[in-house]
Amino acid sequence: MAKYNGVIFDLDGVITDTARYHYLAWKKLADELGIYFDEAINERLKGVSRIESLEIILEKSDKKYSDEEKKYLANKKNEYYKEMIKNITPNDLLVGVEAFIQELKMRNIKTAIASVSKNAFTVIDNLGIRDKFDYIVDANEIKNGKPDPEIFLNAAKNIGVPPEKCIGIEDSGAGITAIKRAGMFAVGVGNPETVKEADLVLKDLSNADEILKLL
């Protein structure tokens, strides 16, 4: 009997690197507002919602913004981002992703994508991978962002696999916390310091054999 029957992927930084587009969009907005923004601040934005990300950026501002102004700025950033992701193609899949998904399919392992991005479906369609997953969470239906486990529990429920039989894959600290709170095995990819709480840490999914050993 397989130890794990489901694998749930984050999207940004795991399947494709949309993180750079997020960074460029936030940087454009911050520059317009005259607010300092760099890669270190950007690291804090990974895995959190758009409004929470904006709040982090506005910490560097002397000006106080109303809720209405914040909503406007968050939407403005999103428009910049949507324009940028039009350029995404299947060539933007990160190393090892395609082969790993194919191997999971051959083993009849259920798969899902759990991304807090409201633009996830656009990215997934541009990558040409929508039909490769059993379920894709609609972020609009999720009330609580990561590190809350809601999005991973939603994915597990919809692929019909108990949380304790699922492996979650993330590149953010908030995402790893969400996976652990959901009662799943956590795989962290990318910066080892960022995902140090994970049960297994990999540079990227070219090392996916380490996950396959668990199945």
* Residues belonging to the active site: 10, 12
**Residue-wise DSSP of 100-141:** HHHHHHHTT-EEEE----TTHHHHHHHHT-GGG-SEE--GGG
Q: How far apart are the first and last CA of the chain?
A: 9
Dihedral angle of Cα 176, 179, 183, 187, to the nearest 10 degrees: -60
